[in-house]
Structure 1
Amino acid sequence: MRSMSNADITIHRPDELSSSLRRAWHQAMDESPEYANPFLAPEFAIGIGRYRGGARVAVLREKGEPVGFLPYERNAFGVGRAIGLGLSDCQALVHRPGVGWDSQELLRACGLSVFEFDHLVEEQKPFGRHVTGTFASPVIDLEGGAAGSYAEWLRGAYPGLAKTTLKKERRVGRDVGEVRFVFDERDPLMLRRLMEWKSAQYRRTGRMDRFGKPWIVGLVDHLFQVRDEHFTGVLSVLYAGDRPVAAHFGPRSSTVFACWFTAYDPEFRYYSPGLIMHLRMAEAAGRHGVRLMDFGRGDKEYKDWLKTRELRVGEGFATRPHPVAAAHRMWRRPVRGLRNTVLAHPTLREPADQLLKTVGTLRTRVKADSNRAEPHAR
């Protein structure tokens, strides 16, 4: 491997990428399975670029030929972050096999003093010394479209879950209506319903409401319309009769399906709609040619139930000597360390979750009281 010099790296806005550059990017994804994740596709970077003015792409070239692509966001102080940090579950410099680079030269060419990441692909060796921690990212390995019914697939793939899950599906079918699953639902009203459910869930659990941010709503609406071999926005919906019970939106490439936003109608929580949704998605994704279903990092019970193995992703800060880089690390690293400590220890995580839920309940109650009082205030 030879490293790049500044003359080999050019910087572009995502929407300025020519069709030939996008094809070269797709080719790099196809040649290395670790870069097949849809969050690493140019379509995701272009989507982010529609709503984030600092979005950029560094293009690495060898003998004039584009061989590597780093999507990132940059602020006015030269602080960089992986594209879509906080939303993306996979980050990397996507490159063709055998291409090497030097992290310091790369940051200098990008005009960055620091580059922050939290789901970095493990194979990114030039960033290795900047990784401050690695974490499990559970995945499901999927085989090609299985013969037989969903129930037969479920009994073969998850014998320990099959009996209880199928029993709950039959029960909701009797209580509400026949269970029906649509893997690729094109009704935008169902996407809006998913966002409403997810916003309510964020508020109940005391988390930041991502769909309270107009740019994230706009991004998801945009990605829902993208239909490409390397990136397709897939909305999946579980129905009971004509009533939607649970929904999921996430991107897929030709071989990888990324789990992203899942939510359900709380009225049906006793039927385990979230678990049913993920099992239905896994079976359907396999039939549609997906070979890997990626949950992203994070400790959730259902991920432990469903995973077949784990990938490793890294978080950290790639830096070069600069006062801004030192200040950024001093500010961000303790916050990350505290968060990771809490998440890694159930004795700390469970009380923290309970506190957030209590805050969410109070916040929801105050908002409801405010809405009831508002007409009288006028």
Structure 2
Amino acid sequence: MHVTLVRPSELGASEVGRWRALQEADPAFDNPFLSPEFTITVGELRDMVWVAVVYDGPDIVGFFPFERHPLGIGRPVAAGLTDAQGMIHLKDADIHPHRLLKLCGLSVYEYDHLVAGQPMERAKADAYPSPIINLRDGYAPYTEFLREHSGKTYKSTLAKTRKLQRDLGEVRHDYATADLAPLRTLLSWKTDQYRRTGRTDRFAHQWIVELVERLLDTRTESFAGVLDMVYVDGTPLAGHFGIRTRTTLAGWFPAYDTSFAKYSPGLIQHLAMAEKAAGSGIQVIDMGRGHKEYKEKLKNGELMVSEGRIARLSPSAGVHWMLRVPARKARATVLANPLLHRTADKALKTYGRLRAVLPQ
């Protein structure tokens, strides 16, 4: 095994083609966060992004996209934003993870959404479910599943759609639109949601706003940004921005206008999106790791992702362990316990309400 380190922009057409071929050869890699276009776009905005091109003799057997931070700390590309992480590699390739870290100049690689079958995964890594909407059999069988297994979710969402139309007017759905104006509306809703719930506003970082805008403008057969918006009487109601491969749509930024909350606009939008996505060839909508009520109502399957780190023996790896691992384990404990999770969520929402009324 030997490695060539390059900036994403330095990947040639043959290397991008090889990356895509390896990705499409293994269902575990069928996620747009693992696509070359995603890494290349982030690399245009973040100078810490690198790609290790892994060779076995003259043949490329893998690609390892990563961010290199101070002290040789490695993280996934766009860490904190992505719901699928890891290498894209030839199945059964002989890749030695600790040697790979050394060749990449890393002392540690930490991850929180590592997909299955990774050389980087530790045997004792913590595994978590990532809820999905499985559309491989089509939209109609999916809705039949919801009727049988998701309580009143499907019927009540249809009823609220009809009530919305009676109360306010025609409901219109735009799937995979390239218009920038609704994207900006969606991001403003998302910013309000972050502040309202006490979370950090991701869109306060200009590079994330620019990343989303560039991805919206990216459209190929194998990768594209997908903006979805539902309107009532011409007024934006709810929307979602994600990215897709040929067959997987990654759920990323859903949001809605809270003045319409009584109609469950998020559920209306997700069901409309699932129907259009299935019709366009999408087989899976990956909603991402994390417990959310709407995910529990809509899911009909799960993937597994893992959280952990792999490290070489070094002083910086020890410092990283002290700074990150205890906090990560405490967070995982809270997220895994419904009572602790609800308590923490309520505390964050209280903080969000206070932040909204206190002078900045």
Task: Find the counterpart in structure 2 of residue 86 from structure 1.
Answer: 80
Where does 1:241-252 land on structure 2 (aligned, <5 Å)? 241-252=233-244
Distance 2:318 2:350 in 1: 36
Residues 265-310 of structure 1 deviation map (CA, whole Å, 9 limit, x = unaligned): 0000110011111111111111111111101110112212221221
Distance 1:31 1:276 in 2: 34
Alpha-carbon distance change, 266 to 259 in structure 1, aligned in 2, over 3 angstroms: same
Contact persistence 1:204–1:361 (CA under 8 A): yes
Letter in 2 for 1:133: D
Q: Structure 2: 5+ residue runs without aligned partners? A: none
Letter in 2 for 1:127: M
1:42 aligns with 2:36: yes
Match of 1:156 among 144, 157, 161: 144
Distance 2:131 2:55 in 1: 33
Q: Residue 237 of structure 1: CA displacement?
A: 0.3
Q: Residue 354 of structure 1: CA displacement?
A: 1.2
Contact persistence 1:130–1:316 (CA under 8 A): no
SS state at 1:233 partner: strand
1:311 aligns with 2:303: yes
Where does 1:193-212 land on structure 2 (aligned, <5 Å)? 193-212=185-204
User: How many pairs align?
Assistant: 356
Structure showing greater radius of gyration is: 1
1:128 aligns with 2:121: yes
Q: Residue 217 of structure 1: CA displacement?
A: 0.6
SS state at 2:178 partner: coil
1:291 aligns with 2:279: no
Distance 1:183 1:198 in 2: 19
SS state at 1:228 partner: coil
Contact persistence 1:116–1:317 (CA under 8 A): yes
**Greater shift in the superposed pair: 130-139 or 8-17:** 130-139
SS state at 1:334 partner: helix
Distance 2:141 2:308 in 1: 40
Calculate percent identity across the aligned residue pairs: 46
Distance 1:96 1:30 in 2: 11
SS state at 2:122 partner: helix
Residues 313-363 of structure 1 deviation map (CA, whole Å, 9 limit, x = unaligned): 111111111100111011101111111111111221212111111111111
SS state at 1:122 partner: coil
Contact persistence 1:107–1:115 (CA under 8 A): yes
Distance 1:61 1:253 in 2: 25
After superposition, the CA RMSD in angstroms is 1.5
Alpha-carbon distance change, 168 to 265 in structure 1, aligned in 2, over 3 angstroms: same
Task: Find the counterpart in structure 1 of residue 27 from structure 2.
Answer: 33
Task: Find the counterpart in structure 1 of residue 136 from structure 2.
Answer: 143
**Greater shift in the superposed pair: 263-272 or 130-139:** 130-139
**Greater shift in the superposed pair: 115-124 or 155-164:** 155-164
SS state at 1:298 partner: coil
Q: Residue 185 of structure 1: CA displacement?
A: 1.5
Task: Find the counterpart in structure 2 of residue 9 from structure 1.
Answer: 3
Q: Residue 38 of structure 1: CA displacement?
A: 0.3
1:322 aligns with 2:314: yes
1:223 aligns with 2:211: no
Letter in 1 for 2:132: V
Q: Residue 228 of structure 1: CA displacement?
A: 1.8
Task: Find the counterpart in structure 2 of residue 168 from structure 1.
Answer: 160
Alpha-carbon distance change, 106 to 154 in structure 1, aligned in 2, over 3 angstroms: closer
Letter in 2 for 1:291: Q
Alpha-carbon distance change, 280 to 78 in structure 1, aligned in 2, over 3 angstroms: same
Instruction: Give the TM-score of the pair, scaled to structure 1.
Output: 0.91
Q: Residue 140 of structure 1: CA displacement?
A: 1.6
1:302 aligns with 2:290: no
Instruction: Give the TM-score of the pair, scaled to structure 2.
Output: 0.95
Residues 90-144 of structure 1 deviation map (CA, whole Å, 9 limit, x = unaligned): 01110122312001110011000000110001211x3232653110111121136
**Greater shift in the superposed pair: 246-255 or 154-163:** 154-163
